[in-house]
Amino acid sequence: MNVVASSPEGLEKFLAKEISDFGGKEIEIFKRSVSFKCDLAVFYRLHFYSRIAFRFYREVARFPCSDKNSLYKGVQSSFDWIKWLPADKSFCVQVTGKNFFLRHTHFTALQVKNAIIDLQKKCLGSRSDISLKNPYLIIHLHLNNEEAILSLQSTVDSLHKRGYRPLMADAPLKENLAAGLIQITEWEGKTPLVDIMCGSGTLLIEAISQNLKIPNITKKNYLFENWIDFNNDIFISEKLKLKNNNLSKFEISKVIGCEINIDVFEQAKKNISLAGLENFIEMHNTDFINLVINEEPGVILCNPPYGRRIGHEQELIDLYAQLGEFLKQNFSGWTLWLLSGNSKLTKFLKMKASLKIPINNGGIDCRWIKYLIN
Ligand SMILES: C[S@@+](CC[C@H](N)C(=O)[O-])C[C@H]1O[C@@H](n2cnc3c(N)ncnc32)[C@H](O)[C@@H]1O
């Protein structure tokens, strides 16, 4: 199968490594996506274990396409819709990209839809309904100048929604972005890990989940179960391999979360418990200034407010200055990873960065910055 995985911007090479680790081949990295080849077992496995992918798209056809007529004909002739889409099942169409004659994705999607239902009416005498919420197939068309690529999307919901976070703190990180940030730190569960402004706990939950290789198996609407080549034996055999994951047998170094806001703190505790990780994370409801940690040096994570979504820049200057002072006095020898969305504020830490990695956090151009605290 030819597959494309969509990725948070800045984490593509980490997604490529995940895909390779779980058996994907011929991997190519693009902006916000990674393409690869795999068999069904690897495809199903990746749905359980990829921590970074948003979605997977399986390519089913590719054809030259310059305008609405070649699109209509190409859609009808390049794939066996009659076999894959019974008329009593619904579908929806999504479009990305454009070319000279097909500039509006909504119009292009309409053309694709018409091509499929016209074909169904001609061959079957009836047609599928369109469903955006609960489709049987999600058909994705990507236009790249004069070429169209048709794919099937494999889940309704994005895989970043793990299901442990129904309760949202202010400005939470997406779970897959948090997972990628942790991969960048190279934390492997052998040194202490502290998130001193942990919000809903996402970074800590993702850090432990991926180090313990906890699969991502909350109820997902796997559309690949509707595909005519779905192989239940392979799917079940991949699922059975997951069952050997007994959390109680794992040991991991000390993991600590700190959150000042009592409501957010309570949410974080609930999220951690939903993720099944309450025995792995020690939570403190306090200002980080009161945090006393008697551990060997490890990794400190920090996703502080940065004035766009919560807090105001002026008020935050004191917070950053206090944070820099506190870390230098109490965490000598530790490594700090801080997600900065505001370089003006980061200067008030008065610390020297050793690495800055560009990351897009929900449309905000951020830096994941490493500091060696001395
Ligand atoms: C941007 S949010 C962190 C979001 C988190 N990474 C998540 O995914 O949910 C920043 C958090 O820092 C907390 N915070 C602000 N000042 C703090 C302080 N002095 N001590 C501890 N936590 C603080 C806020 O209450 C907020 O929940």
Domain contains 114: yes
Let me know whether 106 and 206 are in one domain: no
> Does residue 167 lie in a domain region?
no
Which position has the token pair 């794992």? 250
Choose which residue among 173, 204, 205, 259 to substitute to test ligand 1 binding: the one with the highest number of ligand atoms within 8 A of its C-beta.
Answer: 259
**CATH classification of the domain holding 254:** 3.40.50.150
Quick check: 179 and 8 in contact, CB under 8 A?
no
pLDDT at 251: 83
* Sign of the C-alpha dihedral computed for residues 352, 172, 305 and 212 taken in this order: negative
Domain check: are 140 and 180 in the same one? no
Residue nearest to atom 7 of ligand 1 (CA): 172
Global confidence as pTM: 0.93
13 and 62 both lie in a single domain: yes
Question: Measuring CA to CA, which residue among 228, 286, 224 is closest to residue 257?
Answer: 286
Instruction: Of 96, 2, 8, 10, give the one whose Cα is nearest residue 50.
Output: 8
The CATH number of whichever domain residue 96 belongs to comes to 3.30.2130.30
Number of H helices, E strands in the chain: 11, 14
- pLDDT digit string (tens) for the chain, length 374 residues: 999 999 999 999 999 999 999 999 999 999 999 999 999 999 999 999 999 999 999 999 999 999 999 999 999 999 999 999 999 999 999 999 998 888 999 999 999 999 999 999 999 999 999 999 999 999 999 999 899 999 999 999 999 999 888 756 567 899 999 999 999 999 999 999 999 999 999 999 999 999 988 888 777 789 999 999 999 999 999 988 876 666 666 789 999 999 999 999 999 999 999 999 999 999 999 999 999 999 999 999 999 998 765 557 788 999 999 999 999 999 999 999 999 999 999 999 999 999 999 999 988 999 999 999 98
Q: Is the Cβ atom of 203 under 6 angstroms away from ligand 1?
A: yes
Cα-atom radius of gyration of the chain, to the nearest Å? 23
- pLDDT of 35 reads 98
Integer CA distances (angstroms), 2 to 38, 149, 155, 227, 296, in order: 7, 11, 16, 15, 46
Query: Which protein residue's CA is at the shortest distance from atom 17 of ligand 1?
Result: 260
Cα–Cα distance for residue pair 170/227, rounded to 1 Å: 39
Both 124 and 180 in a single domain? Answer: no
Number of domains in the chain: 2
Same domain? For 20 and 129 the reply is: yes
